[in-house]
Structure 1
């Protein structure tokens, strides 16, 4: 075990050596910098500009917390913290390859596999330089359950936040200040979702909703959005304060507000907010069996108003969870938020601000530590900073930021000596990348340190598809998507009032679960029996590059006939196992259980049939294109796959254009070289012909002139000179013929170049036409699970709650 592996201490890096505190190029000291986990109960803030290493420090801190079995909720507005899921104990290139940046690899001239190998080597060597290895990564994976939650999206594990505004626990209702704060924050978050900046003291809408929530919660009644809409139209109170409802908020105006909420309810994206696990700080901090969780709550995909709405509800729930815990001086859990800009500003008052300030003031007593990260300290409320005991300060962008930090450090009063503002300013100015000043009120003096190498692979923000792939590999139950969802069939008969029975007594071997229900008003709740099967299935195929895990939770009706269960008629439930209750609601009645479902011996048979049905009928359907020999990814739609095929066609086209251009350049280049040589020959031949013409003319003229001036008749010598000149004149004719031949050769070369260019343009035009996305031939292939890869967890009796009115109408009452 390394020296830094100490209980309750976070290994964050190494202290800078004396004299090298601010030099990012110098090696830090070999002494590890250990941060006392208990100090985090007084909270921490990480401040640093983009590129300072702020995210790496945050990831390292969360890793250390998980190793120490401290659960973490990490709110992630940017998408970076999902990298915590990328832990590869083997440090094998194949583990890195699915997550490397293909464009970055191409930029460096490396294939995806080569770049993945480079990254694996980089991470192995980087970890080793900080005395870490794959064994430590494995311990990290084993220490906590890591999961990515995506409210308002099914990319990760969805969180249902609009299904119910549940009444808080009695302990919180008994605390008048906390109860009022919860009401105000919930009301503000609802109106934020509507785009309304409502002041709690002056806004009629805020006052009305607050009073509705107070009235319902004091009676221990929860509300869903539909119930809230109804209560706005018909409030449960006639007065607000001392004034009549109609005087304060007339029915016409209330209807307009109800319509705004109804529009939210009816919007296409609303359903995503009602699906998934219930919003529960307890479940985000711990699994059902008590194992600590690192819950990465990604909100990068949400709009600003949706982010504020969700963060407000989450903080509300964390505060309620916190106040239900016994006091402690030890670190119980961490709430981490990356990029706090806009959530706790110095002047404005968004709904999240008061909740953050409440946590900063009160969470210490409950062992909940906050870690807040931001680029600019001027974006944070000073009252919040004054309640923060630890500051991690990296490179700062502006002098204004530095001045704000220096003011805060000077006013914090930590350490045992006078504050040297000038020296501290020089220290801050010289901080390099991945260098931070650690200012801790629990320590005698600040220290500069270099952050250690993150155990998680940090490729950057994760896309929705990458988050989906990560969550597909999680062992936690998920909604089975390959069964078409149908509306639950109401039990027969529905036209007459059924007589509710008492809870039946069944054989001890029959497990029973209850689908969560909302207690109906003015109706009788009756449970009707079904059979439910739960199974974990691994689908694997090297041929089609499939390796994914699915959790199945399927309900099916029970008949009295010879074939009591037919899994082909089953319905995949949009629930997790943790959603199923083990006890019914009080006062409910029960329908009769069919005889086969009362026989405990039938359940093993049904489990065997369930496994067979999963193996034979519930494979993963994929699309395959024979042209490119590509197969769709798991859960990739036909449209998305066709678009990907079109992109593949584009890539192939670009490759073909490159090859065509290279071939043309080679052929045309040779012809242009020959043409240039031919043009040079033409010039040379023309020059030679011109010279020969001049020489011939001079020779003849000289001979004739000599004869004219020297004698009356031509001498034999002059005759010889004239003969030579004549021969030179014949040579001129030859030179001119050579010029014509050279020009003909050049013309032929130009014609060949034109032919090559026309051929290139024709082939290029043929390549430019991309096929339409709907033109590709597709085949369907199915990946089925092996029997050894199917684990049936149980087959049990499932009770479905229905509300039966006095006139016999029966409607589902489950949430």
Structure 2
């Protein structure tokens, strides 16, 4: 495996080089940011042209290379630049994205501008020890998708199709449920053009009550169902007043019409299409590959943006609370401009979920990064949980004063106002002050060159060109169960009389004139246990089986097997009222005693044939819940492997740090000794030369040819010259000792690098071995819940 650059340390983000403000130049020291520090969140502030976008894109690039997925909310249209990353760095790669008007103003052709840009990017990357190979690593490590809610330019995102109920855990937390309901209702009313106060507004109170009633029972809502609920609420009282007194029907109709306009307007059709708002799918592909999902909202109006951001934040919180706790960085949420979404005094719908994330996301390994060029419009008290601040060049003294005041309040321990003013006084382009609570002191640094071409905001047409997203079909309902190897539809038969001892159910059908065929439905609750994999789950399965060829026994081997939850909504105990037909019914279906024997046969069949397929990873000793795909398992493994990697890195630090420190200290002392020995040699050379010279001059210029004193001085000089030979040997020995220490240090560093390389390969989610195992149910725990005659339409 090729040796990687020093900045590719596992779990470290390469953001740039430290900067010397006094010299106005970069230092050789790299700015490597520990990825785990992002779990305490970050804030990035800087005026237009400060390099803020480049820094934040670098963060996303580094996270991607480290296997950390991200959701990036893009109000300005800049984040699509992540897709403009070209490993070959060819002129033709850049050519389609050149601003031809800007090139014309500079007096160059688009082709020449593309060539200049390609050369600029090659040189810029080279200056920061990067190249096309690193761009390739970035692009290979992550999938990048641009979603455009309300538009089909990028990947459409369905945000109005359904308001899914929160998880059971969140429903049991009354505060969390109320928080999500308030945010959702606030965003929806804003989208409908209605300003509503959560306490005073009848619209807000009514919708809140409808959401709480549905979600508390675990029932999803659609916009259509919500409109029907406004017209005919499923309750007759709100507070102490009856419904008509509190909110008369005529006025409720106005609210229903306002919400209906969202569905009826042709411009809102794209809001109903596309992929569902599923946070897991925004973070990982179906194959488990990490993803950067750019949620582009630059094309939307203010109310629409607020709605999308609020709904998305609510979904992220719900997803977050379903995750296990971790100290490693699991995922990133980045918002490119929070102006208007996190103000100091007002309470827009987006602010409450953002506050929740700032307070709680750390425990789940979700890092939140917020950026703005409007530092005055920030709630610094709400940002007190941000552990890292990146501050770039600011536009006005007022901005600077507000940031210093906010920083001293939010992360001010160990900070000095005068020091901050001095550090922020003359920040240049791409120079930032980083205040990280995990470090002893603030540090100035210059940001590295981005891997992505910073083209600037992308239009919807450019996003469409980049995305080329395949059309997303609307969700479909499960098709009716097939009737296996039946004869073609027979003529109309009378429905047989079913005896009292036989339960009877129907699979519903919307088609008139269908023929119903008899089947046996068996529903069983199964218990699967594997202590080694840490698994103990119950599953309910439903089997729909025909009779065997002898028309006496049930052929369970020919059964369709379903998760009971998938089938439950299609079952009915009421006979269909439309014009339907019934196929010939063998007599065995109509004998109650048969169902008792069939139940025993079903237990034996389930125990001998049904298994629970699971994915298991020996590297981390983890298995996944049933019905989890290998892709979703790899997505889950990415965190477990990162946690294991962080633990192993900590062990390596403890193992190698004392040895490295000792060798570096010995090397420092060896350097000092070499310099000292060289200084001694130089000094003795000078003394010997002076002594001999003085003696010779005395002999030449004195009254005697050679006096006794001169003879003594010449002898002394000769002895000094002899000592020089010994001291030269001392220098040689000191240099040899230093070379030995340098080699030992290089060997130790190579050993450490080899360990890191091994870790990188062993703990790569794409490479770790995954085993597929199958569990049999416990026979004594098989519980048959239903055995019935089932009528299946065909």
TM-score scaled by length of structure 1: 0.59
1:452 corresponds to which of 442, 448, 453: 448
Partner of 1:11: 14
Tell me if the contact between 1:527 and 1:588 (Cα under 8 Å) persists in the aligned partners: no
Structure 1 residue 524 corresponds to structure 2 residue 508: yes
> The residue matched to 1:450 in structure 2 has which SS?
strand
Structure 1 residue 428 corresponds to structure 2 residue 424: yes
**C-alpha distance in 2, partners of 1:585/1:149?**
33
**1:707-786 maps to which residues of 2 (within 5 A)?**
none
The Cα offsets for residues 635-659 of structure 1, whole Å up to 9 and x where unpaired, read as xxxxxxxxxxxxxxxxxxxxxxxxx
1:355 corresponds to which of 353, 356, 359: 353
**C-alpha distance in 2, partners of 1:333/1:236?**
40
The Cα offsets for residues 43-71 of structure 1, whole Å up to 9 and x where unpaired, read as 00000111111111111110001001111
- TM-superposed CA distance for 1:111, in Å, is 1.8
**C-alpha distance in 2, partners of 1:112/1:582?**
62
> The residue matched to 2:14 in structure 1 has which SS?
strand
- TM-superposed CA distance for 1:109, in Å, is 2.2
Tell me if the contact between 1:414 and 1:443 (Cα under 8 Å) persists in the aligned partners: no
Partner of 2:231: 233
> Relative to 1, partners in 2 of residues 1:441 and 1:238: Cα closer, same or farther, differing over 3 Å?
same
Structure 1: runs of 5+ lacking an equivalent: 491-499, 508-521, 530-580, 593-809, 811-815
2:568 corresponds to which of 583, 586, 599: 586
- TM-superposed CA distance for 1:409, in Å, is 3.1
Q: Which moved more, 1:195-204 or 1:313-322?
A: 195-204
Partner of 2:436: 440
Partner of 2:176: 178
Tell me if the contact between 2:17 and 2:445 (Cα under 8 Å) persists in the aligned partners: yes
Partner of 2:299: 301
Structure 1 residue 101 corresponds to structure 2 residue 99: yes
**C-alpha distance in 1, partners of 2:115/2:459?**
22
* TM-align CA RMSD: 2.9
Partner of 1:319: 317
**C-alpha distance in 2, partners of 1:409/1:351?**
25
1:408 corresponds to which of 406, 409, 431: 406
**1:376-525 maps to which residues of 2 (within 5 A)?**
376-412=374-410, 417=414, 419-472=415-468, 477-479=470-472, 503-504=482-483, 524=508
**1:104-123 maps to which residues of 2 (within 5 A)?**
104-123=102-121
> Relative to 1, partners in 2 of residues 1:583 and 1:89: Cα closer, same or farther, differing over 3 Å?
farther
Equivalenced residue count is 504
**C-alpha distance in 2, partners of 1:190/1:138?**
41
> Relative to 1, partners in 2 of residues 1:377 and 1:582: Cα closer, same or farther, differing over 3 Å?
farther
**C-alpha distance in 2, partners of 1:185/1:506?**
53
> The residue matched to 1:30 in structure 2 has which SS?
strand
> The residue matched to 2:381 in structure 1 has which SS?
helix
**1:264-343 maps to which residues of 2 (within 5 A)?**
264-343=262-341
> The residue matched to 1:288 in structure 2 has which SS?
coil
Partner of 1:674: none
> The residue matched to 2:257 in structure 1 has which SS?
helix
- TM-superposed CA distance for 1:187, in Å, is 1.0
Tell me if the contact between 2:380 and 2:409 (Cα under 8 Å) persists in the aligned partners: no
> Relative to 1, partners in 2 of residues 1:263 and 1:501: Cα closer, same or farther, differing over 3 Å?
closer
Structure 1 residue 48 corresponds to structure 2 residue 46: yes
- TM-superposed CA distance for 1:524, in Å, is 3.3
Tell me if the contact between 2:507 and 2:571 (Cα under 8 Å) persists in the aligned partners: no
> Relative to 1, partners in 2 of residues 1:235 and 1:123: Cα closer, same or farther, differing over 3 Å?
same
> The residue matched to 1:38 in structure 2 has which SS?
helix
The Cα offsets for residues 229-263 of structure 1, whole Å up to 9 and x where unpaired, read as 11100001111123211111111111111011111
**C-alpha distance in 2, partners of 1:6/1:471?**
32
The Cα offsets for residues 248-298 of structure 1, whole Å up to 9 and x where unpaired, read as 111111111101111121112110100110111111111112211100110
- TM-superposed CA distance for 1:18, in Å, is 6.1
- TM-superposed CA distance for 1:219, in Å, is 2.3
Partner of 1:610: none
Partner of 1:621: none
**C-alpha distance in 1, partners of 2:303/2:483?**
49
The Cα offsets for residues 209-234 of structure 1, whole Å up to 9 and x where unpaired, read as 01111111222221111111111000
> Relative to 1, partners in 2 of residues 1:420 and 1:172: Cα closer, same or farther, differing over 3 Å?
closer
**C-alpha distance in 1, partners of 2:21/2:51?**
22
The Cα offsets for residues 685-740 of structure 1, whole Å up to 9 and x where unpaired, read as xxxxxxxxxxxxxxxxxxxxxxxxxxxxxxxxxxxxxxxxxxxxxxxxxxxxxxxx
**C-alpha distance in 2, partners of 1:83/1:333?**
20
Partner of 2:725: none
Tell me if the contact between 2:332 and 2:367 (Cα under 8 Å) persists in the aligned partners: yes
**C-alpha distance in 1, partners of 2:511/2:274?**
23
> Relative to 1, partners in 2 of residues 1:212 and 1:431: Cα closer, same or farther, differing over 3 Å?
same
> The residue matched to 1:14 in structure 2 has which SS?
strand
**C-alpha distance in 2, partners of 1:324/1:505?**
40
Partner of 1:257: 255
**C-alpha distance in 2, partners of 1:185/1:369?**
21
- TM-superposed CA distance for 1:360, in Å, is 0.3
**C-alpha distance in 2, partners of 1:40/1:404?**
24
**C-alpha distance in 2, partners of 1:73/1:152?**
18
Partner of 1:699: none
> Relative to 1, partners in 2 of residues 1:296 and 1:527: Cα closer, same or farther, differing over 3 Å?
farther
The Cα offsets for residues 594-627 of structure 1, whole Å up to 9 and x where unpaired, read as xxxxxxxxxxxxxxxxxxxxxxxxxxxxxxxxxx
**1:17-36 maps to which residues of 2 (within 5 A)?**
17=20, 19-20=22-23, 23=24, 26=25, 28-36=26-34
Structure 2: runs of 5+ lacking an equivalent: 487-505, 515-562, 573-579, 582-792
**C-alpha distance in 2, partners of 1:260/1:587?**
31
TM-score scaled by length of structure 2: 0.61
> Relative to 1, partners in 2 of residues 1:527 and 1:157: Cα closer, same or farther, differing over 3 Å?
farther
The Cα offsets for residues 138-160 of structure 1, whole Å up to 9 and x where unpaired, read as 00001010010000001100100
**C-alpha distance in 2, partners of 1:479/1:277?**
7
> The residue matched to 1:336 in structure 2 has which SS?
strand
**C-alpha distance in 2, partners of 1:160/1:502?**
29
- TM-superposed CA distance for 1:413, in Å, is 5.4
Structure 1 residue 167 corresponds to structure 2 residue 165: yes
Partner of 2:80: 82
The Cα offsets for residues 528-557 of structure 1, whole Å up to 9 and x where unpaired, read as 99xxxxxxxxxxxxxxxxxxxxxxxxxxxx
> The residue matched to 2:309 in structure 1 has which SS?
helix
> Relative to 1, partners in 2 of residues 1:306 and 1:582: Cα closer, same or farther, differing over 3 Å?
farther
Partner of 1:365: 363
**C-alpha distance in 2, partners of 1:301/1:56?**
22
The Cα offsets for residues 389-447 of structure 1, whole Å up to 9 and x where unpaired, read as 110000111222211222233334566x5x33223202212100100000001100000
